[in-house]
Chain A
Amino acid sequence: MTMRITKEKTERGLLQQVKELAGVDLRVCFQCKKCSSGCPVGDWVESPPAQIMRRLHLGAGDELLESDLVWVCVSCQTCSARCPMGIDVAAVMDALRTLALEKGADSARGTVPKFNRAFLGSVRRYGRTYDMGMIASYKFRTFSFMKDTDKFPQMLKKRKIALLPSFKADRKTVKRIFKTTQRPKGGQK
């Protein structure tokens, strides 16, 4: 395995930022790779979790935010559960995603962040998720209009999709939360 690392020039490199966001000390990682072996997507990605940890530790910069695992990670938390050093690896992955959004990384333009934006957009609007609105918005963002449309009639028939949004949530509080937590280049637009 070859690893390419571009050292950050500033002292507050990615490592420090990740540490602040995730609240974990990843210097104790001794590269046992248990996180990678349990990772359900470990076989498909170029940078499994242990490699991400190593690169961070060695002082990698923003290029790390373009690693495939950043958005393929399904947040299953198997890595965190199995790390013998008790490192919350999944929290590191969350931190990398937050940073990718904030710094406008290329990876933040993929389908997963687009889906998250559509999802959170519907929560901000209605206080609860509204599938139809969210799916329409996601499909619009990704131009994937036809994907999974074969499931729609059956889901509607089984009432597995609500036709109208719910208006019972405390929308004022939810709007306030979104307003206050909106990060500079946040992914909630």
Chain B
Amino acid sequence: MKLAYYPGCSAESTARDMHRSTLAVAGALGIKLVEPQGWSCCGATAAHQTDPVLAAALPAANLLLAGDMGLDMVASCAACYNRLKSANHHIVNDPALRRQVRDAIGRDYDGSVRVRHFLEVLFEDVGLDAIRPALQRSLSEVKVACYYGCLLVRPPGVMNFDDPENPTFLDDLVELMGGKSLDWPCKVDCCGGGLAMSRTDVVVQLTDAILAMAQKAGADCIAVSCPMCQVNLDMRQKDIAKTTGRRYDLPIVYITQLLGLCLGIAPEELGLEKLFVPPTKIIDALGAEM
């Protein structure tokens, strides 16, 4: 199984841990990921809040690279995944936009390179039945609140990724690993995403509500798949404690980190030391050593 892999800019900074754990899990499951040479930023929230052509052209330039390799494009970052897939959708449905994108890049792109999320590949190509026998450690009843956020599931007509209001693929993986996935109401709530720096006040309030609900549900940790959710929920716990006095101490782990641990990969290969709130409890429960 070979796929073009789009790491996204955060793989080189805030989400090295997501990047490393994705590569480690792919390696353990025999998925070959190839980075397209010269990939560039997808534009993220800033581009689509600025200009629709820019927002489509930046992802399109990258999808052309995957197209040249004759491969599907897989992303691990929920935000990149959303931008790449949205660009395809708009280019296919809007011929005028397609022309503008062509003029911007200097090459026509028809929107046909298939965009996948790494989890989709796990479910559809590898399959849970093939993952099960590869598991070496169990999450042994660790209580996990699965947090999907916005970008994997919305807008539903474009993403077509599980149920947009009550998705379960993260929960299914957690259960497969022997953990206990919690029933809680904030699965697809928004953490404030791209406003992390520009409107910190908004982010602190939104993350506080999510963390409080996870704690109330009895969570030992929150599993995420988006670098913005991870950073916001992880890093803001200190600010929340300072402004409200509420302490959560909830580790915010990437689902690929949990899966990596269960596949027997060493914690340092999964970037677990990078979390602000250390996941000691989970690592102990798994009998791994950090």
Contact = CB atoms under 8 A, between A and B. Distances in A.
A180 B13 contact: no
A188 B54 contact: yes
Interface stretch (B22-30, B197-205, B213-221, B253-261): B197-205
A63 to B, nearest CB: 20
Contacts of A180: 53, 57, 103-104
Contacts, number: 174
A123 B197 contact: no
Given A81-B156, A128-B40, A161-B14, A98 B52 contact: yes
Interface residues on A, range: 35 or more
Interface string B196-239: 01111010001000000000000000000000000100010000
Contacts of B243: none
A10 to B, nearest CB: 22
Indicate the size class of the contact surface on chain B. 35 or more
Nearest to B42: A123
Contacts of A44: 202
Nearest to B97: A23
Indicate the member of B51, B157, B189, B202 with the most A CB atoms within 10 Å.
B51
A72 B57 CA distance: 25
A76 B39 CA distance: 26
A93 to B, nearest CB: 8
B94 interface: yes
B111 interface: no
Interface in B1-33: 9-10, 12-14, 16
B198 A114 contact: yes
Most buried by B among A23, A74, A112: A74
Contact of B198 (A88, A111, A173): A111
A44 B200 CA distance: 14
A160 B54 contact: no
A158 B273 contact: yes
A166 B50 contact: no
A186 interface: yes
B142 interface: no
The 7 tightest CB contacts between A and B, nearest first, are A170-B38, A76-B190, A115-B198, A116-B46, A77-B154, A169-B40, A119-B46
